[in-house]
Amino acid sequence: MEKEKYQNLKDSYKPGIPYSEKLNQDEKKLDEYLNRIKKEADRLYHPNDPYGIIEWKDDEDIHPQLIDFCFKLPKGADLHAHDNTMIPLDKFVEIIIEYAMICLDGENYGTLYTVFSADLPENAIKISEALEQGFFSREELMDMMVISDDQEENGYWKRLEDLFSATGDFYNDISIMEKIWEEGFRSCYEKGINLVEVRDWGVEDDLLNDIRDRTIREAYYRIRRQHPDFLVRLIGCAGKDSGSSIDSACETLRSIIRVSKHIKDEFDPDNIEDFIIGLDLCNEEDNSKPLSDYADFLMSDEVKNSGLKLYLHCGESLRRDNDSVVDAYIMDSYRVGHAVNLYRFPELMKKYAERNTAIEVCLMSNYRLGYVRDLRIHPALQYMISGIPISLCSDDGLFMTRAPMVDDFYSAILCWDLSLGDIKAMCRNSIKYSGLTDKEIDRLMRSWENRWDDFVAEQLKDL
């Protein structure tokens, strides 16, 4: 067979992403550049090493032009970020440093506390003092706060939960809390994110939910005053772990439904929109009750008539008996978080594609928590090829990696060999399948398209 014919035949077997975007002339030029830097970045890895931006401490493994491309890329929305963890670690440390304590001997070595902690051990000292006295450097401190490979002993989830409890007390001080939110939202806008849909951990208390959500809203308004094309929405969450009762989770979600009726996005008084847009259940799935235990409530008229959609975590598990991706489909979840094991249900994959149920894919989180140890074989690429919309999200970015979302895009582009058309489609999906109203989606899509065109022009100028 002649060479060209053979190549054409071969290419016909290579799967593409059906919703990949068509590129204009300028974008085609940028795509060629992207291809070149992807190849260069690819060569920085030994073929058998786990792949992606895993060892972010080792700058030699990170391609400077590709990381710059990922930082500046207009990403659309981060549709799955828990509480305030979209803030990068360096900014977080900057804010908390005066209030954070650490144990440097005994069995609690390396454990973080806040000055407000009820469990503060006697040997804990202020982090600022420990830094001054040279117990560790700022770099080493940041290493302690990101989940890493050498913490397998008690499980990655235990480590994540410890980090959440170590930092949880900061929220007892409303001014620190607001500052963390504000810096988190600012960093999102600076790296090309126009919308953050936050999984907001609720409690069984309307007043506390109200205070927290108003604080988040105030921090969001501060960024929107500077950047009118920035939006924040909340998805209220309750716990489903084996230690929490089903009644308690339902009561928390009921409280969120009540609070959603009176806390609105009133930034533009002529266009008052919903601020709380949905409901979800969180926690480590392998240590939680199955979603089906909540079916009565989640499928009730009370929830259906609440005006809030479901955005359920599901399929974040490698267990053979985990079928929560089926539950989420039956419950008509508008989008789903993770769906790592959806590949085990080929017929259901078709249904997800038919219904356009978008999947919030969190690469760095899936890697750090041990679900996918080599991102080249992450199933989300298969989901895209099957026509299921996906968008990249940060999950608990603060504890996963130094640059949430930037590193997620770097890994996806490199590990799945994405073209500029694939990336553009993924970013557009994040707005298209957001929880905004149609009117807001139109407005935000225009802002994003402008940012995208500016990005392409700026990248070409630097070539």
Q: How far is the CB of 230 from Zn ion (least distance, A)?
A: 22
Angle, CA of 425, 393 and 385, to the nearest 5°: 40
Q: How far is the CB of 338 from Zn ion (least distance, A)?
A: 7
Closer residue to Zn ion (CB): 127 or 281: 281
Q: How far is the CB of 82 from Zn ion (least distance, A)?
A: 5
Closer residue to Zn ion (CB): 284 or 422: 284
Closer residue to Zn ion (CB): 365 or 429: 365
Q: Is the dihedral of CA 331, 334, 336, 337 positive or negative?
A: negative
Q: How far is the CB of 390 from Zn ion (least distance, A)?
A: 15
Q: How far is the CB of 206 from Zn ion (least distance, A)?
A: 24
Closer residue to Zn ion (CB): 371 or 452: 371
Q: Which residues bind Zn ion (CB under 5 A)?
A: 395
| 12-37 residues labelled b (16+ CB within 10 A) or e (exposed) | eeeeebebbbebeeebebbbebbeeb
Closer residue to Zn ion (CB): 124 or 398: 398
Cβ atoms of 113 and 119 within 8 Å: the answer is yes
Q: How far is the CB of 342 from Zn ion (least distance, A)?
A: 16
Closer residue to Zn ion (CB): 78 or 395: 395
Closer residue to Zn ion (CB): 200 or 395: 395
Q: How far is the CB of 311 from Zn ion (least distance, A)?
A: 10
Q: How far is the CB of 364 from Zn ion (least distance, A)?
A: 12
Closer residue to Zn ion (CB): 401 or 447: 401
Q: How far is the CB of 161 from Zn ion (least distance, A)?
A: 13
Closer residue to Zn ion (CB): 82 or 428: 82
Cβ atoms of 429 and 358 within 8 Å: the answer is yes
Residue 410 burial (CB count, 10 A): 26
Return the residue nearest Zn ion (CB atom): 395
